[in-house]
Amino acid sequence: MFLPVTLQLLEGFWESLKIFGLTLAFALPLGLLISFGSMSRFAPLKWLLRGIIWVIRGTPLMLQLMVIFYGPGLLFGLPAMPRFTATIVAFSINYACYFSEIYRGGIESISKGQYEAGQVLGMTKPQIFFKVVLLQVVKRIMAPMSNEIITLVKDTSLARVISVYEIIWAGESFIKKGMLWPLFYTGAFYLVFSGILTVLFAKAEKKLSYFRS
């Protein structure tokens, strides 16, 4: 029984990984845009984004999933998005907000002197950001980002509430056949994957240890 169960769970976990990968692909850059906006000198944009961040961080992701999936239909009579799409939208917005706050903390922790040094050397603002500041920010946010990304691995299971097939669903489906252990067994998949991520983050941190700031 072990091998077929493993294969079926792997299939479910592949769906979980898709949610994980796509969320990262959208939320990492979107978070950067939101963090720039939330530091903007244009007050309306800044407060709008800080308000959105407050709402997104202040309510459960599970609820946000349901709002994004059912909301458009209930409120405006629009056709619902495919479940998987709704999941990626909800996850991306949610994680982008968390990432944006981590980015903001990192960017604001870089001393003014670094920007000024770039300025007096005639660099443009984008050059200062990408050539001087960015790598220092990356180094500083490594630990909180790895934390958040490992949380995302496990949060993918929330997609279950709007009936998106993923590994928990795959595990549960065995209950009908009188088997409970496959559901518990799903934990091993999360564990192994977050273990791999932990090793990768440790490597990346080591790689950035060649300088101090």
List residues binding another protein (CB under 8 A).
111, 113-114, 116-125, 127, 131-132, 135-136, 139, 210-213
Residues 106/34, Cβ–Cβ less than 8 Å: no
In angstroms, give the least distance from the CB of 117 to another protein. Answer: 4
Question: What one-letter code names the amino acid at 100?
Answer: S
Nearest-angstrom CA–CA distance, 165 and 169: 6
In angstroms, give the least distance from the CB of 159 to another protein. Answer: 38
Which strand (E) or helix (H) includes residue 73? helix 61-76
In angstroms, give the least distance from the CB of 100 to another protein. Answer: 23
In angstroms, give the least distance from the CB of 106 to another protein. Answer: 14
Nearer to another protein, 112 or 177 (CB): 112
Nearer to another protein, 147 or 213 (CB): 213
The token pair at 152 is 């995302």
Nearer to another protein, 78 or 121 (CB): 121
Nearer to another protein, 128 or 158 (CB): 128
Say how many residues make up the chain: 213
Please tell me the number of Cα atoms within 13 Å of 63 on its side-chain side: 6
Nearer to another protein, 37 or 118 (CB): 118
In angstroms, give the least distance from the CB of 146 to another protein. Answer: 20
The Cβ of residue 126 has, within 10 Å, a number of other Cβ atoms equal to 8
Distance from the Cα of residue 154 to its chain's centroid:
11
The token pair at 64 is 């946000």
